Chains A and B, each alone.
Chain A
Amino acid sequence: DAKTTQPTSMDCAEGRAANLPCNHSTISGNEYVYWYRQIHSQGPQYIIHGLKNNETNEMASLIITEDRKSSTLILPHATLRDTAVYYCIVRRYPQGGSEKLVFGKGTKLTVNP
């Protein structure tokens, strides 16, 4: 089962920042927070991931709280093409290997003109 809780849906105006929250209160020390999105049944697209520090790349920023129990994905200037289902996933790294991504229901983000 997914270890995260996300709102079912959100709306955002085009050009504004989209802030997508995620709760992962049972996260453990060797688990990373990953974000993916799926645009209209295409293959899931990697966005960003982090352990405990805030991260930023060309797509988004990831803000992780100090206790690591929640995080927020920020799309700084949302466009219509950002309309998608966004998945927040915690992923464990056992010694010497990696682990599958377990997808929950995600947040359906709709960017409105």
Chain B
Amino acid sequence: QVQLVESGGGVVQPGRSLRLSCTAYGFTFSNYGMHWVRQAPGKGLEWVALIWYDGSRKYYGDSVKGRFTISRDDSKNTLYLQMNTLRAEDTAIYYCAGSYYDYYEYWGQGTLVTVSS
């Protein structure tokens, strides 16, 4: 059964860092491009970052560029999002999503990040 399980969310103060993880089950993780998508409370979906299936390319949304870093460890079937210099506007549910042909076939259930003093 295909599953993506996010972890690492929580409450963090502005300016601090947090690392999210997303572990994949039930499909060949190393064949899939992986994305992070976030959703602020009561708002729509915002694409955050993409890492290619082989890790050779990474892309970021303008709102997180220079602060967030996406990475993957295929030996652990795990995707990461290192979030630095967090801001209140980064408060959101963070979803990981898997894509073989670029559209998002698989989604995790999300992990909530709250940036607040």
Genuine A/B complex: no
Which B residues have a C-beta under 8 Å from some C-beta of A?
none
